[in-house]
Chains A and B, each alone.
Chain A
Amino acid sequence: MAKKPIGPVRREFSPWDDPAAAPFIEFRSVTKRFGDFTAVKDLSLKIHEREFFALLGGSGCGKTTLMRMLAGFETPTSGQVFLDGQDLAGVPPYRRPVNMMFQSYALFPHMNVEANIAFGLKQDKLPKPDIEARVKEMLRLTKLEPFAKRKPHQLSGGQRQRVALARSLAKRPKVLLLDEPLGALDRKLREETQFELMNLQEELKVTFLIVTHDQEEAMTVADRIAVMDAGEIVQVATPAEIYETPNSKFVADFIGDVNLIEAKVVEASSAGTRLKAVADDFQIDVAQTVTAAAGDTVWYAIRPEKIRISRGKPPEAAVNAVGALVWDIAYLGDVSIFHSRVGESSTLRSTVANITRLVERPITWDDHVVLSWERDAGVVLTG
């Protein structure tokens, strides 16, 4: 099933498309219950060596629990966790070749930066010169050399984050676990750090597993993303695939902005699918072939930036076109979002990039407009 990748691929790296490739980390039907609460439900997942893998989901979706089971802080109620072919059952956290960067950073307040970074190496009883060399290297990698003798409380938030990163990487773990690593940083610093993380991963060639609730962060850093909900994985795919071909209403809604239209299948053939909106009288022509039969109710998802808005006739290529009335306009600077009424009760959002400076607005409130999009602009969601 080696298919053509959708969207940009960071490097020639896609072991998940190779059925023969052995997974580096594997969760095999893992369930974790806390009393009556099931945090993780019969979950299976394979992650490959040197992958930058993101677990993405809202709070309480089980992503942190899943990571903590790999670190050894939680024991699966049932199922197995494998790392590099080894079953991790019964291996305590301090014997696992994985290291974690904690959300709170968990820096030891009574030790300086050097001692924090050296802590794990000392536990392995490495010779002193080796420890010193490794600490030096980590300080260089994370640009912390001037702060080596400082205690954590003498550091800024960004510096603390780098100490935590250096400390968890110092032991050259097989897997680095990152629990919301950038959550405490402000927006600008977060974006910078995301790229630093990616470079670091390229350089060290360590498998990274990141837990985050921030979809932008997951899309930026990860090779693949697993979207989780209520203890289950909803979709595992590359960022582009997740965005362009979400497999469910949940994923489409969770990642980015989307218009969801409830529709009935009018005709389903190998050439494509025709849908009719349930609420209002317009039809949608879709290139995608679906398994649903005529008469089935499905959802049609289309991203706002895929819908064009025009006052005159729609462009030739656009197969789908509906008349609408501009209801609301949100001017966000880089883009404007138009809320247009279609028929009686549907509202479709479309974004327009503000390419030229806004001197006059060609389309304004209460304008009658045409919304149009291509056959392959949206997806039909049967799940």
Chain B
Amino acid sequence: MSGGPASSTPKRSLGGWALIAVPYLWLFVFFLAPFFIVFKISLSQVAIAIPPYFPTFDLAEGWAALVENLRELSAENYLWLTQDDLYWKSYMSSVIIAGVSTMLTLLVGYPIAYGMARSPKAWRPTLLMLVILPFWTSFLIRVYAWIGILKNEGLLNQLLLTLGVISEPLTILNTNIAVYIGIVYSYLPFLVLPLYASLEKLDESLLEAAEDLGCPPWQAFWKITLPLSLPGIIAGCFLVFIPAVGEFVIPDLLGGSDTLMIGKTLWVEFFANRDWPVSSAVAVILLLLLVIPIVLFQNQQQKMAEKDR
């Protein structure tokens, strides 16, 4: 191809603008605007009413009423979050549980991704398919499947008892260990896929060159493979960590009553206590907590995309 670079700002017809406007508006109304409402309600007070908070906005009441309403807003809910240590502990333990599970997922996922990338070319599409398939099956079902395995009279304990490894059933269900297992299991494909992508791209002649220059294979792994797969590791870890922090189903079904995770706290606050303002405040803080990793993740993805170009 000769000629100049592709035109960066194509002339846009009416249809072109409509193409942008429709999905843009949809996301604006159903994704972005709700966050502002969440924020607003997090500054309101709980009320025994429908909806169960005060003040409510009604645009029909006009500007004066709106200003009046704004005065009623307060940061009281956030104050409450700092006073009751339940929330602090939930946030902290969410981050810790998500962090530990991410590391565990990496430990489990790396050998799988590595094994896939080093498998014969003919196997790879099938292996890839096998990793993706669980992702299509229901999250809830996959978590549910572990209950039958992990409970006291469950399959794992039965197996271990029959083998004589243990004499008493282990209590795994309703502990943090079960939560770790659940997260690792549910999010494994998220980590394996980007990792596999970066490992598969790795030129094998690099390893041959390293060996040729006198580097034993296991050192070549540390010095060549691992550093070059780092983008895949980072992307995969973000993809596990970010949603895991706000996870609800796994701690609820597999965790115990002492398993604190912020997603569960929010759920209880909302559905059991019907305290919409406080759960909104919890959501706002959770969002702020996640903004940093999300932005980091997006930057990393962009850098990767530019590098590939």
Tell whether A and B belong to one assembly. Answer: yes
Chain A residues packing against B (C-beta within 8 Å): 32, 34-35, 37, 39, 57-65, 68, 74-75, 103, 180, 211, 213
Q: In the complex the two chains form, what is the Cα distance from A236 to B162 in whole Å?
A: 92
Residues of A within 8 A of B1 (CB): 59, 64, 103, 180
Residues of A within 8 A of B2 (CB): 57-61, 63-64, 180, 211, 213
Verify B4–A75 contact, CB threshold 8 A.
no
For the complex, would chain B's binding face be called helix, strand, loop or mixed by DSSP majority?
A: loop
Interface size class of B (residues with CB under 8 A): under 10
20 residue pairs of the A-B complex, CB under 8 angstroms, read A34-B4, A34-B5, A34-B7, A35-B8, A39-B3, A58-B2, A59-B2, A60-B2, A62-B3, A62-B4, A63-B3, A64-B1, A64-B2, A64-B3, A65-B3, A65-B4, A103-B1, A180-B1, A180-B2, A213-B2
Q: In the complex the two chains form, what is the Cα distance from A59 to B1 in whole Å?
A: 7
Query: Which of B3, B5, B8, B11 meets A68, CB within 8 Å?
Result: B3
Residues of B within 8 A of A75 (CB): 11
Verify A60–B11 contact, CB threshold 8 A.
no
Residues of B within 8 A of A180 (CB): 1-2
Tell me the chain B residues, 1-27 only, with Cβ under 8 Å from chain A: 1-5, 7-8, 11
Least distance between B207 CB and chain A CB atoms (Å) = 34
- Identify the closest chain A residue to B5 (Cβ): A34
Q: In the complex the two chains form, what is the Cα distance from A37 to B3 in whole Å?
A: 11
Verify B4–A39 contact, CB threshold 8 A.
yes
- Identify the closest chain A residue to B7 (Cβ): A34
Verify B3–A60 contact, CB threshold 8 A.
yes
Q: In the complex the two chains form, what is the Cα distance from A35 to B1 in whole Å?
A: 19
Q: In the complex the two chains form, what is the Cα distance from A211 to B3 in whole Å?
A: 10
Residues of A within 8 A of B4 (CB): 32, 34, 37, 39, 60, 62, 64-65
Least distance between A33 CB and chain B CB atoms (Å) = 9
Q: In the complex the two chains form, what is the Cα distance from A62 to B3 in whole Å?
A: 5
Q: In the complex the two chains form, what is the Cα distance from A260 to B297 in whole Å?
A: 57
Residues of A within 8 A of B7 (CB): 34, 74
Q: In the complex the two chains form, what is the Cα distance from A63 to B4 in whole Å?
A: 9
Ranked 3 nearest A-B pairs via Cβ: A64-B3, A39-B4, A59-B2
Q: In the complex the two chains form, what is the Cα distance from A59 to B4 in whole Å?
A: 8
Q: A58-B2, A59-B3, A211-B2 are in contact. List 18 more A-B contacts (CB 8 A).
A: A34-B4, A34-B7, A37-B5, A39-B3, A59-B2, A60-B2, A60-B3, A60-B4, A62-B3, A62-B4, A64-B1, A65-B3, A68-B3, A74-B7, A75-B11, A103-B1, A180-B1, A180-B2
Least distance between B45 CB and chain A CB atoms (Å) = 53
Q: In the complex the two chains form, what is the Cα distance from A57 to B4 in whole Å?
A: 13
Q: In the complex the two chains form, what is the Cα distance from A213 to B2 in whole Å?
A: 8
Q: In the complex the two chains form, what is the Cα distance from A49 to B229 in whole Å?
A: 59
- Identify the closest chain A residue to B9 (Cβ): A35
CB-CB under 8 A for A34 and B11, given A58-B2, A60-B2, A211-B2: no
Least distance between B218 CB and chain A CB atoms (Å) = 45
- Identify the closest chain B residue to A183 (Cβ): B1
Q: In the complex the two chains form, what is the Cα distance from A68 to B4 in whole Å?
A: 11
Residues of A within 8 A of B8 (CB): 34-35
Most buried by A among B3, B5, B8, B11: B3
